[in-house]
Amino acid sequence: MPQAMDQRATPPPREYTDGSTAIVRAALEAGCNFFAGYPITPASPILTMMMREMPRVGGIAVQGEDEIASIGMCIGAVMAGARALTATSGPGISLYSENLGLAVMGEIPLVVVDVQRLGPATGGATTVGQGDVQFVRWGTSGGYPIIALAPSSVPECYHLTMKAFDLAERFRCPVFLLTDKELNMTMATVALDAYRPVDVRPRPRAEEPGRPYRYTPAEDVPPLRHYGAGETVRFTGSTHDERAFITKHPPTVDALNRHLAAKIEEHRDEIEMAAADLDPRAETLVVSYGVTAGAAREAVRRSRAGGAPLSSVVLQTLWPVPEATLRRAATGVRRVLVPELNLGQYRREVERVLPGMDVSGLNRVDGEMITPEQILEAVR
């Protein structure tokens, strides 16, 4: 047999792994050199792996005394020049809330992994859920935009973690990676060539002394100035001018707050990601994200084999909402179905983007997964 045929017949190398491992690997390859977190199911595997791996790359991993201290350490580490990651679950995001607002106001590049579980409160610590979708968007004061990505497979855990680090550096803001218990803790066989690395941009250093912020043009993102860079660096969570001095001067306060929104809203084309699988014959569009996307993909495959095809959009960016993608995908269909492991949190966004469209939800909050059969039945 010719050598070329032998090569084609050889399957790619595979590994047996989970989403937590993929996230840690991606973080290290993205240049993460600081981690702080507190044990919480189902995010604890990320903490334990980072504690093990960080010393091997010359980084620092800390188990904080609680979630509040952990995210505070990350913010301080970034201001000292580190590239930082933290990981928690829903109850931890509650405790992160105030410091997340500080990261938004101080324009801190930080990646926050939220491994979702069934809530509220302690809820189902070992139970899958997707109940933090609106929480991460609105969980801190002010209502200013954040970026949230949602992987739907182990390779996407790797890819979107690296992408999260790049977006955090690009827009000087906290970026959420919304995963879940099943995706992070269920072992899967993955072809090594399915991992797609991302070039994470180096952090630009500010050149103008004494001016760590810039508000005009509003959509611009100034470089970060670190502590210990040879000059005094001011940092505050209060409204401040471009030199970080606290101010109540209305035009300056207005410019600051409009900048915090515009630097994300005006760059949606760089942030929004989705995978569309459209069939011109389809009358129903299935919009999914996260672990539920696996069932949606299988339902679409079966629908086409059965002669009643569905179209699908798997959202990789949840915030900002990929509005243009949703509108294009909904063209020509009569109905949209949004399967979620909550009571319809993202369906609200789809209804807002597609007014007048028949948008329905398929929802489970009993700790079990949505199945392809349930999606097909909901369509029928």
Per-residue pLDDT reduced to its tens digit, 119-169: 999 999 999 999 999 999 999 999 999 999 999 999 999 999 999 999 999
Contacts 24+ apart (CB under 8 A), 345-352: 345/130, 345/131, 345/133, 345/134, 346/133, 346/287, 346/289, 346/315, 346/318, 348/134, 349/321, 350/287, 350/326
* pLDDT beyond 80 at 209: no
Sign of CA dihedral 294, 297, 302, 303: positive
How would residue 3 be classed by pLDDT, with cut points 50, 70 and 90?
low
Q: Phi and psi (nearest 5°) for 69?
A: -65, -35
How would residue 48 be classed by pLDDT, with cut points 50, 70 and 90?
very high
Residue 60 has a pLDDT of 98
How would residue 204 be classed by pLDDT, with cut points 50, 70 and 90?
confident
Sign of CA dihedral 358, 336, 271, 211: positive
pLDDT (mean) for 40-45: 97
H-run or E-run covering 88: strand 84-88
Query: Do the beta carbons of residue 52 and residue 59 sit within 8 Å?
Result: no
Query: Do the beta carbons of residue 342 and residue 130 sit within 8 Å?
Result: yes
Q: Among 114, 126, 128, 98, which Cα is nearest to 160's?
A: 114
Cα distances from 312 to residues 158, 214, 243, 275, in angstroms, run: 22, 41, 47, 8
How many angstroms separate the CA atoms of 124 and 366, rounded?
10
How many angstroms separate the CA atoms of 217 and 246, rounded?
21
Q: Among 270, 251, 250, 234, which Cα is nearest to 105's?
A: 234
Query: Do the beta carbons of residue 311 and residue 265 sit within 8 Å?
Result: no
CA 153 to chain centre: 13
* pLDDT beyond 50 at 9: yes
The 10s digit of each residue's pLDDT in 14-31 is: 999 999 999 999 999 999
Q: Among 322, 301, 320, 321, which Cα is nearest to 310's?
A: 301
Q: Among 132, 136, 127, which Cα is nearest to 182's?
A: 127
pLDDT (mean) for 95-123: 96
Percent of the chain at pLDDT > 70 equals 96
Percent of the chain at pLDDT > 90 equals 90
- What would the two tokens of residue 206 be? 């500010």
Residue 4 has a pLDDT of 53
Query: Do the beta carbons of residue 140 and residue 112 sit within 8 Å?
Result: no
Q: Among 167, 170, 269, 272, which Cα is nearest to 221's?
A: 170
Average pLDDT, the chain: 95
* pLDDT beyond 80 at 229: no
The 10s digit of each residue's pLDDT in 182-202 is: 999 999 999 999 999 999 999
How would residue 343 be classed by pLDDT, with cut points 50, 70 and 90?
very high
The 10s digit of each residue's pLDDT in 269-303 is: 999 999 999 999 999 999 999 999 999 999 999 99
* pLDDT beyond 60 at 2: no
How many angstroms separate the CA atoms of 359 and 333, rounded?
11
Tokens 């790359």 map to which residue?
57
Residue 225 has a pLDDT of 82
* Half-sphere CA count of 349, side-chain side, radius 13 A: 21
Residue 206 has a pLDDT of 72
* pLDDT beyond 70 at 7: no
Q: Domains in the chain, please, with CATH?
A: 11-194 (3.40.50.970), 275-379 (3.40.50.920)
Give 205-249 as a DSSP string.
BP-STT-----SSTT--PPB--TTSSS-----SS-B-TTS-B---
Give 109-149 as a DSSP string.
-EEEEEEE-B-STT-BTTS---TTHHHHHHSSTT----EEE
Residue 1 has a pLDDT of 44
pLDDT (mean) for 76-92: 96
pLDDT (mean) for 28-43: 98
Please give the residue that has the higher pLDDT: either 153 or 222: 153
H-run or E-run covering 168: helix 154-171
